[in-house]
């Protein structure tokens, strides 16, 4: 592939930039340097602060509000890698090719702060390109496709200085660059604020969902019901006609650990081998993962509908899952514990819903404060106190919680969809502006008038 074909393939937008715009290599408008300033403090060197990979990855702007790392550097490094207002810093390696060249604009002068290792420092020549425009350009997914295509690696991907320097960039006239940057500053800030508000709504919904569950499984559905002490400080008071026995007294067989197997098979006619990663955040079985075991091995840990599974160790310790809505045989992994309830005493759905309450979370936290390793064994689960209403009341509570949970899920899905729409619009807006597909006028920057497209 010749250079012209490569440019057309990796940067198709170069074919349609507006009249008066140029397309050139990045190094024709800016200097690109890879920092070699490491995180060490060496006696005899000057104390400095480092702007590191994570500072750039997590922040669109580099300001004095960031808690920079303390290190040291020699005078040559200080002269070369002292960051300046208008510099653009970008990550030059990543675990994924499509997550590389993430950039941040140095928004103010920061004496004594150097560009750290694993970063590229892009210093605009301001007669050609402005830092803010260059930073927004590096936020465009279509522009970043050039870097993604040139990233080299297997388990970790990296970019060469040539990959940065040879990247094709659009160059509007300087005044238009300023308008585009100002327009994107204002509009993307508004979009980000809207997304943040939507995320707060999700947090509120999640809190309401937990409160609905906790109220139902610890206090019942009838306000004003007479209460009594449960006997557990973390559980508090429960309705007077309820009891709070430990879990082992409500089981038809002892709590059971799963199997410790490698499970390399993917045969759908064999029992499915369930691990925590086979469940999504809502406890439903995922369709995109499947491992199976020979039936002669799996039979020791086969599941029945409505079995409740407790995670006993690892990052998900204390989480629970319910085996239901699966048409086929399945067994479970060794870091899960199976609970089968006495159906005439404890509805398994009530048990499962209880484990989604803040009361259950309080019990988990109490267990963790007593252990150096976060692990909840079957012996500990055995003595988990369960607030226990009569069976018909359990079922009424389950029906109430499931109805309310469906409402919360519907609202959550709507908000998640709105966030996705805003996110897509933000990406599209950046692309349109930095490639000239959207014409930004002075009136757009001050917030008046309509947007104009070429």
Length of the chain: 454
What average pLDDT does the structure give for the chain? 91
Give the pLDDT confidence score for residue 371 in this predicted structure. Answer: 60
pTM confidence score:
0.83
- 183-199 pLDDT, tens digit each: 999 999 999 999 999 99
Q: Retrieve residue 452's tokens.
A: 């104009």
Instruction: State the pLDDT at residue 64.
Output: 95
Q: Picking from 175-179, 249-253, 322-326, which range would have the lowest pLDDT averaged per residue? A: 322-326
Which residue has better confidence, 40 or 21?
Answer: 21
Q: Which residues, listed in sequence order, are joined to residue 264 by a DSSP beta bridge?
A: none
Among the residue ranges 16-25, 280-289, 367-376, the one predicted with the least confidence is: 367-376
pLDDT in tens, 345-377: 999 999 999 999 999 999 998 887 666 667 899
Residue 6 pLDDT level (bands cut at 50, 70, 90): low
Read off the pLDDT of residues 288-335 as tens digits, 9 standing for 90 and up. Answer: 889 999 999 999 899 999 999 999 987 889 999 999 888 889 999 999
What would the pLDDT profile of 86-106 be if each residue is shown by its tens digit? 999 999 999 998 899 999 999
- Residue 13's nearest CA partner among 438, 420, 452, 423 is 438
Distance CA 328, CA 274 (A): 12
Band (pLDDT 50/70/90 cuts) for residue 50 is very high
Average of per-residue pLDDT across 437-449: 76
* Stretch 417-443: mean pLDDT: 94
Would the pLDDT of 447 be above 70?
no
Q: Please state the rounded mean pLDDT for residues 143-152.
A: 92
**Per-residue model confidence (pLDDT) at position 239:** 97
Place of tokens 């940067």: 11
Which percentage of the chain shows pLDDT scores above 90?
Answer: 77
Sign of CA dihedral 243, 249, 251, 256: positive
Reported as a pLDDT band with limits 50, 70 and 90, residue 449 is: very low
144-171 average pLDDT score: 93
Residue 41 has pLDDT above 90, yes or no: no
């Amino acid at each position: 592939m010749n250079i012209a074909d490569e440019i057309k393939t990796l940067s198709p937008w170069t074919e349609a930039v507006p009249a008066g715009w140029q397309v050139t290599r990045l190094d024709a408008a800016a200097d690109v340097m890879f920092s070699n300033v490491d995180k060490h403090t060496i006696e005899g060197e000057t104390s400095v602060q480092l702007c590191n990979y994570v500072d750039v990855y997590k922040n669109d702007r580099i300001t004095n509000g960031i808690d920079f790392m303390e290190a040291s550097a020699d005078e040559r490094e200080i002269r070369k890698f002292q960051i300046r207002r208008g510099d653009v810093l970008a990550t030059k390696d990543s675990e994924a090719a499509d997550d590389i060249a993430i950039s941040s604009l140095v928004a103010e002068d920061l004496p004594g702060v150097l560009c750290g290792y694993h970063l590229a420092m892009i210093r605009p020549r301001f007669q050609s390109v402005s830092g803010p425009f260059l930073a927004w350009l590096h936020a465009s997914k279509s522009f970043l496709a050039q870097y993604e295509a040139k990233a080299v690696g297997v388990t970790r991907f990296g970019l060469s200085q040539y990959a940065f320097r040879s990247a094709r960039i659009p160059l509007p006239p300087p005044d238009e660059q300023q308008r585009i940057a100002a327009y994107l500053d204002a509009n993307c800030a508004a979009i980000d604020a809207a997304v943040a508000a939507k995320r707060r709504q999700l947090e509120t919904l999640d809190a309401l969902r937990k409160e609905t569950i906790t109220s139902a499984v610890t206090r019942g559905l009838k306000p004003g019901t007479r209460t009594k002490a449960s006997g557990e400080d973390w559980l508090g008071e429960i309705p007077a006609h309820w009891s709070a026995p430990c879990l082992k007294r409500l089981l038809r067989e002892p709590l059971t650990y799963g199997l410790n197997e490698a499970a390399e098979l993917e045969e759908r006619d064999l029992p499915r081998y369930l691990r925590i990663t086979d469940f999504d955040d809502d406890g439903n079985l995922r369709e995109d993962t499947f491992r199976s075991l020979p039936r002669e091995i799996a039979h020791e840990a086969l599941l029945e509908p409505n079995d409740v599974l407790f995670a006993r160790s690892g990052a998900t310790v204390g989480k629970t899952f319910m085996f239901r809505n699966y048409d086929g045989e399945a067994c479970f992994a060794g870091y899960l514990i199976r609970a089968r309830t006495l159906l005439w005493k404890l509805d398994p759905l009530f048990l499962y819903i209880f484990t989604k309450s803040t009361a259950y979370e309080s019990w988990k936290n109490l267990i963790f404060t007593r252990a150096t390793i976060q692990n909840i064994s079957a012996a500990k689960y055995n003595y988990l106190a369960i607030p226990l209403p009569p069976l018909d009341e359990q079922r009424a509570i389950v029906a109430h919680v499931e109805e309310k949970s469906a409402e919360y899920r519907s609202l959550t899905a709507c908000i998640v969809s709105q966030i996705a729409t805003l996110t897509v619009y933000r990406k599209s807006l950046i692309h349109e502006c930095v490639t000239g597909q959207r014409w930004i006028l002075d009136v757009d920057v001050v917030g008046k008038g309509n947007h104009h497209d070429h």
